[in-house]
Structure 1
Amino acid sequence: MDIKEFSESAKGFTKSPLGIIALFIVLVYGFASLVVAFGQNISQHIAPLVYFMVFFPVLVFFGFLWLVAKHHRKLYGPSDFKDEENFLKTQISSAASLAAAISKQPESGGDLSRVQLDEIVELVSNTKQKHSTEKWKNRVLWVDDRPDNNIHERQAFEAQGLEFTLALSTDEALSILNREKFAVIISDMGRKEGPQEGYVLLDALRKNGNSTPFVIYAASNLPEHKKMARERGALGSTNRAQELFSLVMGAVNNGS
């Protein structure tokens, strides 16, 4: 490899913290090797250099393990995540699904105003999920005895990388939660079991010490119902798809 090729390769390494670390390691080890091979009058100091060349890779290895374990999100530069076409597809898919969810709500009348469309675009464009290496932090439990009513909402979240587990009842949800962890729980309010099953589930979770963020997605958007939900330990309560999206994505990102 000539000087020009090496400089181009080195330039590529400087685009991220991980690359800079790798470049520094290569240069240090390279200079040490040159000194040992071509250095003059270093016979009295050869032992420290040999020890350095033997133990330096070991120190680098354990240092790298520590960085990956404790600061893995800081090891990449912006260019490592640059996939504008995929990002655009994700945003369009999420916005389209969210628009479909809003349009089916009674107050919309089936048509979205320019203000609502602008709100959707702004909301989705400002949402950037922090993907976690821990799978449960990207998973949501949705409790509703009529899950087909929420297909568009789930599609909006799935476009952002979230995965869903569905439960049709309070008992089923509690059984699932005994085995698995989730970043967020979404629940309707009234089910076949009773008119306030959302609160029944919420109270049972908080009584058992489960503090998973809990969002109620029901028919009411009255201020007093929102206040009551928060007082009982919920993150929020809404009947608006865009508010649900904001609450859930906020909880997911804050917990990542």
Structure 2
Amino acid sequence: MSILKVFISSTCYDLDNVRDGLRDFIYNIGYEPIMSDYGDVLYDPRIHTHTSCIEEVKNCDMLVLLIGGRFGGKAISEAVSTVDFEKVKEKIKAGTVIDDERLSITHLEVLKAIEYGLPVYTFIKEDVLSDHKLYEKNKDKSIITEITFPSIEKQETAKYIFEFINIVRLRDHGNNIFPFKKETDIEGMLKKQWSSYFQKLIKEQFGKKEKSDNNKLEKKVDELQTLIWRFINEAPREKDSQVSQKKKYGRILWVDDYPINNESVISFFEEQNIHFDIALTTEQGLKLYRKELYDLIITDMGRGDESNAGITLIKELNFLHCQVPVIVYCSMAAIRRYSDEAIRLGAYRVVNGTANITSLITDICGLSN
């Protein structure tokens, strides 16, 4: 029986402690970590070591990417030539810049994984991710050359690190990114992600063996169980009357495929004993909704290739007879295009801007008293 191989890609010297801890974690769950600094890579004497690292990626089952404040060594041209950039560009957002004159070994390892369609789990140090947001806001302005990014070891490499983050996050799929402070943050997230992913694969495989009628019946039973459970656990309530009562809510479901944008709002309310469950997709959000009792649901509008994913979520919630207030938090462009439809379908509010969402949550949760 073959063992699942996990390639760990990052700069080595600044993240060595994190890499060591992650290696132990992967071993302990029965998988095989592949790390260049531990000799897990086959170094073919006929080619450069850079090329050997890149070639090893395609022999693995998935890749875990760690991004810190250090830019790795520039890869040699032989290693660069092993990546099919045309295939890679088909799988990332049009217009995303890949500067093949300034690619590190870590860059190429990830691009090779994208080329071969391997799952990539990206973890970025919190301070680097915070500086990346500052970079994105100012990268097209003349002031960008005067900005110092504290998280970056060498300021002249900041652009290449931040654009590398853009390559990963602007993929057409598999574009997950997670912030981390310590190695245990990565372990916890990988446990959740891998467990859920493998469970999904098992269910999909099982579903292929079932007849269409059985699948429909199973869905109806699941929906009926959800409705019965909610009927037992939830008191009948109207959305507007809930808000007017200003009852303190303890649990909020937030559906957004780029949750890093909401960190400041979430942190603010968590300090006031408001718990948040985060879902990256409509499917994840519905799964959480079926399991937990929520007092408020927040959704963005566009997720992945679906520009009206928020509308889809509201429709699914309506089908489940959801009585929980739903706030749509999205861009002004999305508001202009979808606000009327969202309100017609039952959304409580459609808003934009940190100040507005903070004020609205404060009011709904009864924290203004």
Give the TM-score normalised by structure 1: 0.44
The structure, 1 or 2, with the larger RCO (C-alpha pairs under 8 Å, 6+ apart) is 1
The structure richer in helix per residue is 1
